[in-house]
Amino acid sequence: MPLRSLAFALSGLLALSACGDDATGSTTSVPPLTTTAVPPTTQPPTSTTPPPAGFGAVGVGDPYFPDLGNGGFDVEHYLIETTVDPATGEITDGATTITATATMDLAGFYLDFRSLEILGLTVDGAAVAYEAAGPNLRVTPGAPIAAGEGFAVEVRYRGTPGQTMLPGLGLAAGWIITAEEVYVVGEPDGSHTWFPGSDHPSDKATFTIVTTVPEPFVVASNGTLVDRTTAGGMTTFVWEMTAPMATYLATIVVAELELVDRPDLRDIDIRDYLPADLAADDPRPLQSTAEWIEFLESWFGPYPFGSYGHVVVSGFGAALETQTMTVMDRGHVIDIIVVHEIAHQWFGNSVSVATWPDIWLNEGFATFAEFLWIEHEFGRETMEAEIAERHGAMSRRTHRPIADPGVDQLFGLAVYLRGGLTLHALRIEVGDDLMRQILLTYVERYTDGNASTADFIAVAEEVAGRDLSELFDAWLYQTDLPPLP
């Protein structure tokens, strides 16, 4: 079927990775294309009180979320243990153990955490002093921690997590409670509402997520389900994410779900968790997951994780590429959205942004994957018509340069559309063979890590063997939209 309709094509871009539109947050129609002024940038509040001497910094200094992430240590692993009441959404019993290594001599440190009642906090098993400091906890160990020394922090808590808001969209992020389920969509800053840690993509870690719920509820989460035990009407699910993961990608979905186990792709476990009616219907886009992973591998290299699938919820109105287990609203089970979220497993998940202004490296690459898929499924002519239509949509807008979109436009259409168009322009400039090599080199170099816009440009110029600054400057750093190549 042709994909000539902009309204249909944009549905993939409105799939969140926190996908949304520039102004309205709607995911059901294309927003008006009448903006004539560069939208203002709003910044979240920054801490004004410096940390005490010998403490790690409050935040990692991200331009958009300066108080998130933590200085002075590097997290290696999270063990998140919660008992959840699906009827109320309350965490009746919660504990997170953070295994970390000090990167400086630490008299104390901060954790990102808010909105829950703290029942106790220990460092290496000993109770220590702590206090709230805005969206953070200030922790003072009984004795300083030397640089290079490992330590473990356990925080026990209970309560109903609060939420954050997706910048510029007016949509809730974090811990979502509906009549049917409880689920987490943490991008960009919602994870510290339900577990403490270093809530910034630059501090990736492995995860063990242990969730106990009453029967017949099921828990879907990241990675591999390694254990499931039932006793006294309660079931405990243990999920392991053994590849490094940014905190915003951690999720749990508590609902009455059915497991749809699909044929493995080589050693990749493909599975979906669906409501009973959807499991019976088994939508074709979900059946095509393995086929589309294989296609994207031809451009991006081997799929980076050991599993993949989807968990379908209600009331979300979007989709988020939570690592190896995309959380997807039932209304968004559409071919192009499925492809978009698969692509994020490479771009955003395996290779994560260095700072949030680099968000086009997530969304632009997933949009470029849509172009590649359209060409693969429907031919070059259809892809070029689709690209021309999307370029026309962007040409009727004025927006900030996407290399620095501003926090209020973090998930604006420009980041998606112009990001994808940037990569299409690069493909035309260097040709398919070099474009593949650029993408493969970029993924290989930054797998399980973080990259910035400058890092990607450096890879592109290295592989192409020439200066590409004119192309990247025009597409990434200028307000005016360049013509299509």
Model pLDDT, residue 35: 23
Report DSSP state, residue 483. Answer: P
pLDDT of residue 49: 67
Distance between CA 327 and CA 338 in Å, rounded?
A: 11
Q: What is the pLDDT of residue 76?
A: 98
Instruction: Indicate whether 11 pLDDT > 60.
Output: no
pLDDT in tens, 117-154: 999 999 999 999 999 988 899 999 999 999 999 999 99
pLDDT band, residue 8 (cuts 50/70/90) = very low
3.30.450.20, 3.10.20.310, 2.60.40.1730, 2.70.70.10: CATH of 73-344? 2.60.40.1730
Tell me the pLDDT of the chain averaged across its residues.
90
Pick from 6-10, 51-55, 358-362: least confident: 6-10
pLDDT (tens digit, 9 = 90+) per residue, 464-482? 999 999 999 999 999 999 9
Q: Is the pLDDT of residue 238 over 90?
A: yes
Residue 12 pLDDT > 50, yes or no?
Answer: no
Asked whether the beta carbons of 336 and 390 are under 8 A apart, the reply is: no
Task: State mean pLDDT over 306-331.
Answer: 95
Tell me if 319 sits within 8 A of 332, measured CB to CB: yes
Q: Identify whether the C-beta of residue 443 lies closer than 8 Å to the C-beta of residue 351.
A: yes
Q: Give the Cα separation of 221 and 231 in Å (integer).
A: 21
Residue 22 has pLDDT above 50, yes or no: no
Give mean pLDDT, residues 260-280: 97
Q: Please, what's the b/e burial string for 78-87 (b: 16 or more CB within 10 A of its CB; e: otherwise)? A: bbbbbbbbbe
Q: Is 44 a residue whose pLDDT tops 50?
A: no
In this prediction, residues 294-320 reach a mean pLDDT of: 96
Instruction: Give the C-alpha distances (Å, rounded to integers) separating 39 from 24, 106, 411.
Output: 13, 41, 13
pLDDT at 124: 98
Q: What is the pLDDT of residues 324-352, one digit of tens each?
A: 999 999 999 999 999 999 999 999 999 99
Q: Per-residue pLDDT for 373 more than 80?
A: yes
- Residue 75 CB-half CA count within 13 A: 31
pLDDT at 172: 82
C-alpha closest to that of 119 among 157, 160, 154, 159? 157
Both tokens of 177, joined, read: 């409670």
- When pLDDT is averaged across residues 253-278 and rounded to a whole number, the result is 97
Yes or no: is domain 6-43+351-477 CATH 1.10.390.10? yes
Percent of the chain clearing pLDDT 70 (strictly above): 90
Task: Tell me what pLDDT residue 32 has.
Answer: 26
- Helix 413-430 to helix 6-13 angle (10° resolution) is 100
Domain boundaries of the chain, sorted by first residue: 6-43+351-477, 73-344
Structure confidence at residue 448 (pLDDT): 98
pLDDT more than 90, % of the chain: 84
